[in-house]
Structure 1
Amino acid sequence: MRSFKPSIESLEALPILDRVKLDARRTAVIVVDMQNEFANPKGKLYLPSTQQIIHSIRSLLSKARQKKATIVYTMDTHYPDDLEFKDWGQHAMKNSWGWRIIDELKPEHDDIVVEKSRFDAFYNTMLDDILRTRGIENLVIVGTVANICVLATIAGAYMRGYRVYVPINAVAYIDELSLYIALYQASKVYRATLVEKAENVEFE
């Protein structure tokens, strides 16, 4: 069997905007799977880089709420004997501690919560209907993890005609290579706009 190992030095630089301003009435912030299972040190699939993005997500949500932008939280949600457990082990069981969103990012009264059973938040959920009912055209997608649920949700958004913005410092990752691959796919294939910081996303 042959193997393939890319050279990090050969990887293409990606275009990143310093800042962006979006119409709050047409924009939703999608917070992907910031649950105890993934973003709390006691979680079964804890990812340390989630700790680095909490502040940036909170800053983004604060600005979005001030301008009345739509905020959606996705929750990885599973039941006994889920097929996904063969690959990842049992996790994010409905109503368990690991399933709950971390305390630092608790949804507020007007926020929307969408439960999903697969990587893509649009798959077999009402997310698309919710967004279209509100006249949403732009999605700012943040959360965990870059090359799995975040990328799958970006792909789902692209397939449905949404414009996607990804603040890089608000996306958790396994390692730098997987982050790069996710951002490359998001930018080159799914035409997402990469933004340097969540703090530089403005709403009007």
Structure 2
Amino acid sequence: MTTAYRLRPSRSGEGSVPLHRSAAIVLAILFVGCTPPPAVATPTPTVPTPQPTIAATPVPATANPAVTVPTIPATVAVEIPVKGAALLVLDITTAVCTPRPPCVTSLPKIAALIKKARDAKVPVIYSETTAAGASILPEVAPQAGEPSIKASSDKFFNTNLDQLLKDRGVENAVVVGSASNGAVLYTTFGLNLRGYTAVVAVDGISANVDWPTNFVQWQLLNEPGFTNADNKPLDKQHVTLSTTDKIAFK
């Protein structure tokens, strides 16, 4: 809407504004009313400065250093006093042994060692895994009165194995079974840890393939804190490596 302004001529003697000044005022008002508001500056978007591309530095391929396989001492013959001896037969079951050809191959030797122990009146103690429906293979099955425990790899864990050994006055325990890198390794270490001396018949232990069994032989002789690196026979509270035909109960 446009506002109309009328200029009234001044009368003589009145304190009116001169005509030329009135016109100036009107023009000023019109100018102010018609002046558009100042434009709002639109911010200029900031464009990120492109970063230089750094090429990845190729890592030179280096050959793995050769690994020297340690020598495992030869097995030794041992004569174990009947008093204080026991034979542990670990996990020779349908679930563990049957699927492993090396274990099946070892069955006759384990059976011969069991007979040797029984003939000498040495206690035989068995273990099984917790696998449902598994059973100890008939070739090495326990006789009446021979105990069997169920556990995972360490047969001392949550079982009464230690008490069974103490009740029989055991000092030296012979170990056979499968897997060599499972029940045999961890239970044998458990024997040493609890003060027992262990003899492992290497032809009576097995795994899926031969390599773990070879490694375990070295590990058994080099257990931290229980080392018998030279395979000294019946080294107290350590492991001795033998074979089923070199073990005698006297």
Greater mean alpha carbon deviation, residues 53-62 or residues 170-179: 170-179
Q: TM-score, normalised by structure 1?
A: 0.81
In structure 1, runs of 5+ residues without a counterpart are 41-45, 78-91
Higher relative contact order (CA 8 A, sep 6+): 1
Identity of aligned residues (%): 26
Which segment is superposed worse, 51-60 or 182-191?
Answer: 182-191
- Deviations along 1:54-100, one digit per CA (max 9) or x if unpaired, are 011111011100111010000111xxxxxxxxxxxxxx11xx1xx11
What's the CA shift for 1:39?
1.8
**Partners in 1 of 2:147 and 2:96 — Cα distance?**
20
1: CA distance, partners of 2:186 / 2:244: 20
Following TM superposition, where does structure 1 have runs of at least 4 consecutive aligned residues deviating by more than 3 angstroms?
A: 4-8
Confirm or deny that 1:113 pairs with 2:178. no
Greater helix share, 1 or 2?
1
Q: In structure 2, do the counterparts of structure 1 residues 173 and 6 end up closer, same or farther at CA, with 3 Å as the change threshold?
A: farther
CA-based RMSD: 2.0
Aligned twin of 1:35: 93
Q: Does 1:53 align with 2:53?
A: no
CA contact (8 A) 1:146 1:173 kept: yes
What's the counterpart of residue 186 of structure 1? 220
Match of 1:171 in 2: 205
TM-score (norm 2): 0.66
Cα distance, 1:180 vs structure 2 = 2.0
Give the count of matched residue pairs. 176
Q: 1:17 aligns with which of 75, 93, 115?
A: 75
Whole-angstrom CA distance in 1 between matches of 2:83 and 2:195: 17
SS in 2 for 1:129: helix
Unaligned runs of 5+ in 2: 1-60, 227-237
From the superposition, tell whether residues 11 and 131 of structure 1 become closer, same or farther in structure 2 (CA, over 3 Å): same
48-57 vs 181-190, which deviates more? Answer: 181-190
Structure 1 position 105, deviation (Å): 1.0
Output the amino acid matched with 2:177.
Answer: G
CA contact (8 A) 2:129 2:150 kept: yes
CA contact (8 A) 1:74 1:121 kept: yes
In the alignment, the residues of structure 2 paired with residue 7 and residue 168 of structure 1 have an alpha-carbon distance, to the nearest angstrom, of: 27
The 2-side partners of 1:160 and 1:111 are apart by 22
Q: How does 1:67-106 map to 2 (within 5 A)?
A: 67-77=120-130, 92-93=131-132, 96=133, 99-106=134-141
